[in-house]
Amino acid sequence: MQPPPATTRADAVFTHLRQRIVEGQVATNTKLSEPELAKEYEISRSTLRDALSRLEGCGLLERKANIGYRVVTLSTSQLLELFRVRESLEGMACRLAAENMTPAQLMELKDLLAQHQKNESLQQGQAYFQQEGDLDFHFLIVLGSANKMLIRLLCEELYYLVRMYRYQFGMASSRAKRAFSEHHNIIQAIEDKDGELAEILMRRHISASRKNVEKRMNTL
Amino acid sequence: MQPPPATTRADAVFTHLRQRIVEGQVATNTKLSEPELAKEYEISRSTLRDALSRLEGCGLLERKANIGYRVVTLSTSQLLELFRVRESLEGMACRLAAENMTPAQLMELKDLLAQHQKNESLQQGQAYFQQEGDLDFHFLIVLGSANKMLIRLLCEELYYLVRMYRYQFGMASSRAKRAFSEHHNIIQAIEDKDGELAEILMRRHISASRKNVEKRMNTL
DNA sequence: AACCCAAAAATTGTCGACAATAGGCGTGTT
DNA sequence: AACACGCCTATTGTCGACAATTTTTGGGTT
């Protein structure tokens, strides 16, 4: 079930660079020098460019003709834009998950929630794990939608951006407790096969996150 | 306001190939031979690969390591998946358009509708123009959302797929008249700055299209 | 000192060739 | 005849070098 261990050099560099960018080891808005990066990875520029073009496809890099690649900038306004996109897409994903999720997938989802509850009762301050766990939760629901296009858009494109924002803005969630209970209600709606409600709850869940960020932004 | 006339060779080939694929001149599910295509366009494989990787980013090509690029297959199930994605994304875009559209953009949108009305009253059977016109309508609304991420997802990725399906499945719309009136109501909601209603109407509009396709599929 | 212009340096775009992998073909065995 | 194995061919992955464009640098003028 693991992703195959990078059959090609470009693939390995792609994966590695993606992690570096997401974790902020390559600062946002940095212009990438192809000769420099190629030398660093000890590959040719062709191979590197292959990797870079894929990163562009993930929305992590931007490219201008005759100028080069640049790491995307994470502005607060774009973060809010991302929330809007997630609200709509994940809302739909949740509706479809309620209709299409297999019992095995649902069980996995409930296990994850139970695990979160344990973790939460053990340690309150582990914002990092909670955040990754939150993303796992959303991930499983998207997979449950059984809509390949939705899965590709969210899991292979937008979620890397989401992780990038979380790493760099590090929003320790004061919302953790409430978010957990929202997760619980969402699962209940899915279990009841109530797609309409599931969508509404997911949209509110993400919208509440967005408003939380907006509020935090305004106080700065 | 035109897109700049393809600064680079790869860009020109990208644009040209994209049109060929969208219009079905390169059949779906075709495996692309890099040497062959490079020879046809009289460019090197490197340049071609640059163009191909961008087409992959548009969702028009799929790539497997050590095997190559292949034109995506358009199945009816994937068409229905695409409708679901559009329903959620364009619903959100329409809500945001109601909030953010500039008066100039709104006027442009109303002009487009008026033009459609003239065309429709003149010639009924011009399904092709009606379809492109329909896409223009949706296009303008997405632009009005003022959400760059939404605009990129819809206008630079999904709409090429939409056009591809329309070319190949050629669904002459028996829904044209109703769709037109739905467009009218959507504009009204936007003009009233009623984002909530605008979203609902757009979702219904796309959902109705989806159901129309589903119905047609079942009769085959 | 600020500005503009030209030459130089560096970077991206493009090319053709070699290496590694996948697919097809023929042979041999059961 | 069907299947398995190994070779051969074709395609993709990777490389280094050249061409075109951009950026920097330096000098000259106002």
The dihedral of CA A43, A46, A49, A50: what is its sign?
Answer: negative
Best probe of the A interface among B83, B84, B145, by most A CBs < 10 A, is: B84
Per-residue pLDDT averaged across B76-91, rounded?
Answer: 97
Contact B29, B23 (CB under 8 A): no
B85, B91, B148: residue with CB nearest A149: B85
The integer distance in angstroms from the CA atom of A41 to the C1' atom of D15 is 14
pLDDT the model gives residue B179: 86
Q: Which pLDDT tens digit goes with each residue over A38-88?
A: 999 999 999 999 999 999 999 999 999 999 999 999 899 999 999 999 999
CB A39 within 8 A of CB A81: no
Chain B residues within 8 Å of chain A (Cβ atoms) = 7-8, 11, 46, 49-50, 53-54, 56-57, 59, 65-66, 78, 81-82, 84-85, 87-89, 91-92, 96, 147-150, 152-153
Confidence label for A199 from pLDDT (cuts 50, 70 and 90): very high
Whole-number pLDDT of residue A3: 46
Compute the 3-state secondary structure of chain B and give helix, strand, coil in percent, each to the nearest 5: 75, 5, 25
pLDDT, tens digit (0-9, with 9 covering 90-100), for B132-188: 778 889 999 999 999 999 999 999 999 999 999 988 887 666 777 788 899 999 999
Quote the pLDDT of residue A157: 93
Which of B65, B85, B87 is the closest to A153 by Cβ? B85
- The β-bridge partners of B90 are none
Averaged confidence pLDDT in chain A: 91
The pair of three-digit structure tokens given for residue B175, joined into one six-digit string: 């829904």
Mean pLDDT of A91-120: 92
Distance of alpha carbon B151 from alpha carbon B82, whole angstroms: 16
Higher pLDDT, B218 or A25: A25
Residues 11-50 on chain B lying near strand D, CB distance under 7 A: 31-36, 45-46, 49
Q: What are phi and psi of B71, to 5 degrees?
A: -65, 135
Rounded to 10 deg, the angle between the A195-218 and A176-191 helix axes is 170
What pLDDT score was predicted for residue A127?
Answer: 59
| Through-space separation of residue A8 CA and nucleotide C30 C1' in angstroms | 39
Label residue A2 by pLDDT band (50, 70, 90). Answer: very low
Give the C-alpha distances (Å, rounded to integers) separating A197 from A201, A207, B80.
6, 15, 22
In the chain, the amino acid numbered A131 is Q
**pLDDT: which is higher, B72 or A171:** B72
User: Tokens 């109530």 belong to which residue?
Assistant: A194
- Residue A53: list chain B partners with CB under 8 A: 50, 53-54, 57
**Buried/exposed B82-92: b ≥16 CB within 10 Å, e otherwise:** bbbbbbbbbbb
The reply to whether residue B147 touches residue A8, judged by beta carbons under 8 angstroms, is no
Smallest CA-to-CA distance from A6 within B200, B133, B66, B5 is with B66
Return the pLDDT at B6: 67
Give the model's pLDDT for residue A130: 67
Inter-chain CB pairs, A–B, below 8 Å: 72
Provide the pLDDT for residue B2. Answer: 44
Q: Which nucleotide is nearest to B47 (CA to C1')?
A: C14
The mean per-residue pLDDT over the stretch A163-178 comes to 81
Start-end of H helices in A101-194: 103-122, 127-144, 148-153, 159-169, 176-191
Confidence class of residue B70 from pLDDT cuts 50, 70 and 90? very high
- Chain B positions touching A147 (Cβ under 8 A) are 81, 84-85
Rounded mean pLDDT, A4-14: 86
CA–C1' distance A203–C26 (Å)?
A: 62
For residue A37, is pLDDT > 70?
yes
The letter for the amino acid at B186 is: I
Q: Write out which nucleotides of chain D lie closer than 7 A to a protein Cβ.
A: 11-17, 21-23
Q: Average pLDDT over chain B, rounded to whole?
A: 91
- Gap from B107 CA to D5 C1', in Å? 72
Q: How far apart are CA A131 and CA B219, in angstroms?
A: 47
| Whether the predicted pLDDT of B3 surpasses 90 | no
Assigned token pair, A37: 């990066």
Pick from A156, A154, A140, A149: which is nearest to A104 by CA? A140
Predicted pLDDT of residue B117: 79
Question: Chain A residue closest to B52 (CA)?
Answer: A53
**Per-residue model confidence (pLDDT) at position A203:** 98
* B139 phi and psi angles, rounded to 5 deg: -60, -50
Report the candidate in A202, A143, A121, A212 with the shortest Cα–Cα distance to residue A175: A212
pLDDT confidence bin for B5, thresholds 50/70/90: low
CB B171 within 8 A of CB B124: no
Query: Alpha-carbon distance B35 to B49, whole Å?
Result: 10
For the entire predicted model, the pTM comes to 0.92
Most A CBs within 10 A among B8, B73, B92, hence the mutation to make, goes to B92
Residue type at B99?
Answer: E
Shortest CA to C1' contact from B37: nucleotide? D11
B193 pLDDT exceeds 80?
yes
Residue type, B188: Q
In sequence order, which residues have a C-beta less than 8 Å from that of residue A18 and are 6 or more positions away? A55, A58, A60, A160
Position B86 scores a pLDDT of 98
Which pLDDT score is estimated for B1?
34
Q: Please report the pLDDT score of residue A135 as a whole number.
A: 86
- Tell me, what's the pLDDT at A119? 74
User: Looking at per-residue confidence, does B88 or B213 come out higher?
Assistant: B88
A69 CB inside 7 Å of strand D: no
Higher-pLDDT residue of A91 and A4 is: A91
Nucleotide nearest to B52 (CA to C1'): D12
Closest CA to A161 of A1, A23, A11: A23
Sequence-distant (6+) residues with CB within 8 A of B81 are A147, A148, A149, A150
From the CA of B210 to the C1' of C23: give the distance in Å.
40
